[in-house]
Amino acid sequence: MIVRPEILPPTAAAIARAADLLRAGDLVAFPTETVYGLGADASNQDAVESVFAAKGRPEFNPLIVHVADLEMAERVAVFDDRARTLGHGLWAGPFTVVLPRRPDAPISPMVSAGLDTVAVRVPGHQVAHSLLKALDRPIAAPSANRSGGVSPTTPMHVAKDLGERVAMILAGGRCQVGLESTILDMTCDPPRLLRPGRVGRREIEGLIGPIAAPESEGQAVPLTPNAPGQLASHYAPRLPVRLNAVTVGPTEALLAFGPDRSIRGGATRLNLSPEGDLHEAASNLYAMIHRLDDPAYTAIAVMPIPERSIGFAINDRLRRAAAPRSNSPAIEC
Ligand code: AMP
Ligand code: MG
């Protein structure tokens, strides 16, 4: 008897089996350099439907299509010169581009929520790349967590959150970047930053010139109908999150950053990066929030994170984790 999910190290045999499962319409969770993805064969309508069902994700919230290379990307979306420049410069890597969808794209219309645009990315993780090569088709993959919750950066996070909903988890260790990809919408002029990430505004502008982005990249991106993932409350643990903490209550868990030890007390504490390294902090963020999200505490208090480099993206996620939550189902996943 096969126990679901199979959790396997990403050997060549396991990757071949994962590709077979995807081809048969099953869901496979796999590592990328950003977070773990919940993968489905993007051309299979039923498989794509089961991604939305497994996550509890509203069907109007489009998925990112993962491809092996620029050539496969061009089978899905219409690239102009600037988009190609970004592809050459930033792929494989934690960068997603929204482009017009090709009418003959080999993907179910549901992947892009019926829009005539599509989000594509070439992931930089070797396991993701090998899986895409083995399947030789685009993979639709949101983060492998329930809608609105904290993204998974380890195989165990996936197993805990989605357990029996996936046929297999390719266990490729911890995700190195630890935050979701930067998303740039190239269907408007100038192109617009929809979600900050490891690839920063300057890096993009160095390749294609000015883009539209909020004053601070980390500030909430304006909410528009074609950016359904950008709603305020998202990435949220069960416990309330309190930002810019300079003190900590006796029953709160402290998420610290940097060498400053002046905050005393708290029920427990973890440090995102004792050295004050923002990339290390990004890589640790979700894993530490998962660990502190324990009913033994009353809230997670987070020390201030500098607004520079990947700190913009960390603060973007933290603001959404701390945003007031409505009773309606979370919109982004
Ligand atoms: P996730 O799958 O959780 O990484 O979220 C993917 C996000 O990509 C969505 O929630 C949207 O914000 C964005 N996205 C995907 N496709 C499109 C699209 N066609 N147009 C605009 N944004 C998109
Ligand atoms: Mg997500």
Look up the CATH number of the domain holding residue 31: 3.90.870.10
Tell how far the Cα of 228 is from the centroid of ligand 1, in angstroms: 7
pLDDT the model gives residue 234: 83
Question: Are residues 154 and 77 both part of a single domain?
Answer: yes
Q: Determine the Cα–Cα distance for residues 47 and 25; give it in Å rounded to an integer.
A: 5
Question: Are residues 258 and 213 both part of a single domain?
Answer: no
Q: Which domain holds residue 61?
A: 6-217
pLDDT the model gives residue 47: 98
Which ligand ends up closest to the CA of 140? 1
- Within-domain flag for 45: yes
The H-or-E segment that residue 120 falls in is: strand 117-121
Per-residue pLDDT of the chain (333 residues; tens, 9 = 90+): 556 789 999 999 999 999 999 999 999 999 999 999 999 999 999 999 999 999 999 999 999 999 999 999 999 999 999 999 999 999 999 999 999 999 999 999 999 999 999 999 999 999 999 999 999 999 999 999 999 899 999 999 999 999 889 999 999 999 999 999 999 999 999 999 999 999 999 999 999 999 998 765 545 444 343 454 566 678 899 999 999 999 999 999 999 999 988 999 999 999 999 999 999 999 999 999 999 999 999 999 999 999 999 999 999 999 999 998 764 444 444
> Of 201, 217, 233, which marks where a domain is finished?
217
Question: Are residues 154 and 117 both part of a single domain?
Answer: yes
Q: What is the CATH number of the domain that holds 262?
A: 3.40.50.11030
- Within-domain flag for 71: yes
pLDDT the model gives residue 222: 46
Q: Which residues pair with 77 in a beta bridge?
A: 101
What are the backbone angles phi and psi of residue 183, rounded to the nearest 5°? Answer: -120, 125
Q: Determine the Cα–Cα distance for residues 146 and 187; give it in Å rounded to an integer.
A: 29
- Within-domain flag for 234: no
> Of 150, 184, 217, which marks where a domain is finished?
217
Question: Are residues 182 and 33 both part of a single domain?
Answer: yes
pLDDT the model gives residue 5: 87
Ligand 1, pocket-test mutation among 32, 60, 64, 153, most atoms within 8 A of CB: 64
Question: Are residues 183 and 132 both part of a single domain?
Answer: yes
- Within-domain flag for 171: yes
Radius of gyration of the CA atoms of the chain, in A: 19
Point out the ligand 1 atom lying closest to the alpha carbon of residue 141.
2
Question: Are residues 184 and 100 both part of a single domain?
Answer: yes
Close Cβ partners of 44 (under 8 Å, ≥ 6 residues apart): 25, 108
6 burial (CB, 10 Å; 0-12 / 13-18 / 19+) is: middle
What are the backbone angles phi and psi of residue 292, rounded to the nearest 5°? Answer: -85, -10
Ligand 1, pocket-test mutation among 35, 52, 63, 107, most atoms within 8 A of CB: 63
Question: Are residues 61 and 150 both part of a single domain?
Answer: yes
Question: Are residues 208 and 249 both part of a single domain?
Answer: no
pLDDT the model gives residue 3: 61
Point out the ligand 1 atom lying closest to the alpha carbon of residue 96.
8
Tell how far the Cα of 146 is from the centroid of ligand 2, in angstroms: 8
* Residue among 294, 289, 319 at smallest CA distance from 154: 289
Tell how far the Cα of 226 is from the centroid of ligand 1, in angstroms: 8
- Within-domain flag for 227: no
pLDDT the model gives residue 227: 52
CB atoms within 10 A of CB 174: 15
Question: Are residues 79 and 173 both part of a single domain?
Answer: yes
* Cα separations in angstroms, 52 against 40, 42, 78, 139, 333: 10, 12, 25, 14, 9
Do the beta carbons of residue 192 and residue 212 sit within 8 Å?
yes
CB atoms within 10 A of CB 192: 21
- Within-domain flag for 236: no
> Of 158, 184, 217, which marks where a domain is finished?
217
Question: Are residues 195 and 256 both part of a single domain?
Answer: no
* Residue among 125, 127, 144 at smallest CA distance from 27: 144
Close Cβ partners of 194 (under 8 Å, ≥ 6 residues apart): 98, 183, 184, 185, 221, 227, 229, 230
Question: Are residues 12 and 144 both part of a single domain?
Answer: yes
- Within-domain flag for 228: no
For ligand 1, residues with CB inside 6 Å are 61-64, 98, 112, 115, 117-119, 142-143, 180, 183, 185, 194, 226-230, 332-333
Question: Are residues 208 and 245 both part of a single domain?
Answer: no
Burial 57-92 (b: 16+ CB within 10 A, else e): bbeebbbbbbbbebebbbebbbbeeebeebbeebbb
When divided into structural domains, the chain yields a total of 2
Do the beta carbons of residue 279 and residue 310 sit within 8 Å?
yes
- Within-domain flag for 248: yes
